[in-house]
Amino acid sequence: MSVSDSKSTDSEQVNFGYQKVSATEKTERVGEVFRAVADRYDVMNDIMSLGSHRIFKRMVLHMSGVREGGQVLDLAGGTGDMAALFADAVGTNGHVVLADLNEDMMRVGRDRLLNRGLTQIEFCRTPAEALPFADEQFDCACVSFGLRNFTDKDQALRELLRVLKPDAALLVLEFSKPVDPLLDGAYKAFQALWPPIGRALVGDAQPYQYLVDSIRVHPDQKALGQMFADAGFVNVEYHNLLGGIAAIHRGCKPTPDNSANSQP
């Protein structure tokens, strides 16, 4: 199933950075971005986040409560940072699925993770909006720096809810909105460097201009919390990282006992 088969139809316009494009065009253009950066993705991530993404990802693992033997979905898993952390946590009795739409990102991830001997990770090429997994399959799901790229975020959140077991948690790590205007200004100045750095190191500024623009049009902390609730998650909470430059949102699939607590 392709993204354009899912709920978002081609007559609806979606954001590609600041541009409004059809769902099909967004999926294609996001695919081009990650094809272009796949081989340098990890090194650029370290440079542009000054290494902070590694700490954020460890915080997601900590907040996930994932245990030995667990079944975990790392959606938009890309080159496999979160999948590797989860694989260590679930051990050889557990199972981690790294799902992503982009074959080039997964190729880089597959090579890295196999080199580390993490054989309990399964790779699955799929759009987030139409997951090929059974209902109530996973003990935990995570989307790390993936959600803002999705063609239909609401549909992806509903799919994530469907594949989680009752009471299981979804964690979304994503760029967000700095709470202090001074920090926001400084951060924008820093972001202005990303496209020229991309041109210098990867030979192409465009993917990094998309990165900046996609961060700026992404919903803020409260709006994303509301999207979790609208999709049906309960006990929704978020934690700002570096003053809101990024945030971790967490929500659970309802059980008969906690289904009333849906407000973020």
Which parts of this chain interact with ligand SAM (CB under 6 A)? 3, 30, 34, 76-78, 81-82, 100-102, 105, 127-128, 144-146, 149-151
Rounded to a whole number of angstroms, the minimum distance from the CB of residue 34 to ligand SAM is 4
Q: By C-beta, is 177 or 254 nearer to ligand SAM?
A: 177
Q: By C-beta, is 106 or 234 nearer to ligand SAM?
A: 106
C-alpha–C-alpha distance, residues 79 and 98, integer Å: 9
C-alpha–C-alpha distance, residues 174 and 248, integer Å: 7
- 41-49 vs 103-115: helix crossing angle, rounded to 10: 90
Q: Which tokens sit at 42?
A: 């990890």
Rounded to a whole number of angstroms, the minimum distance from the CB of residue 225 to ligand SAM is 20
Q: Which residue is nearest to ligand SAM (CB)?
A: 78
Q: What are phi and psi of 71, to 5 degrees?
A: -110, 115
Q: By C-beta, is 97 or 234 nearer to ligand SAM?
A: 97
Q: Which tokens sit at 152?
A: 């239909």
Determine the 3-state secondary structure of 123 from DSSP.
strand
Rounded to a whole number of angstroms, the minimum distance from the CB of residue 200 to ligand SAM is 20
Q: By C-beta, is 2 or 119 nearer to ligand SAM?
A: 2
Which 8-state DSSP code applies to residue 70?
-
Q: Which tokens sit at 202?
A: 């990867």
Q: By C-beta, is 128 or 164 nearer to ligand SAM?
A: 128
Rounded to a whole number of angstroms, the minimum distance from the CB of residue 178 to ligand SAM is 19
